[in-house]
Amino acid sequence: MAKTTMRSKCLVCSKSINVTLNGRSYRNDNYFGRIKLPSKPGKYKKTGTTKIGKLKVDVAKWTGKEKEVEYWECNKCFEEAAHESWLEDTIKKLFGKRCKDYVRHCPVCDAWFLYDTILEDARGEL
């Protein structure tokens, strides 16, 4: 089967990427399937609530049209997400889950505060 190259866009950083296709396989970047994204006009409308563990969260539905796109990530964005996940997993293993409310000088809260600070300050550089 002949190799072909296609251009796509990283859904995270919007950079253009070249993907080498070889039949049903590919190289140079990461494909996660097709997803639907909201398009204008529309808004999110609350449809109910659900529980995730002990956390109660709102459930919302997009009222406007949706556009289906292929979800591609460049290698840099993919690796950055893997590093974030590693750091989060390590903090969870060493200190436990986040406290429900932030308490100053609590070792668990301080560890998660540091995690949030690192991600915020290093966004795009990991």
**In 1-126, which ranges are E strands?**
3-9, 16-22, 25-27, 30-38, 44-52, 55-62, 66-73
List the domain range (segments joined by +) for residue 37: 1-73
Report CA-CA distances (Å) from 42 to 33, 37, 46, 63, 67.
24, 12, 13, 5, 12
- Mark whether 13 and 55 lie in a shared domain: yes
- Mark whether 10 and 69 lie in a shared domain: yes
- Mark whether 65 and 90 lie in a shared domain: no
- Mark whether 64 and 89 lie in a shared domain: no
- Mark whether 62 and 89 lie in a shared domain: no
Q: What is the pLDDT of residues 51-103, one digit of tens each?
A: 877 778 888 888 989 989 888 898 888 888 777 788 888 889 999 999 988 88
* 125 pLDDT more than 60: no
Angle at 69 between CA 3 and CA 75, to 5 degrees: 55
Q: What is the pLDDT of residues 30-56, one digit of tens each?
A: 888 888 888 878 888 999 998 877 778
- Mark whether 18 and 60 lie in a shared domain: yes
Question: How many helices (H) and strands (E) would you count in the chain?
Answer: 2, 7
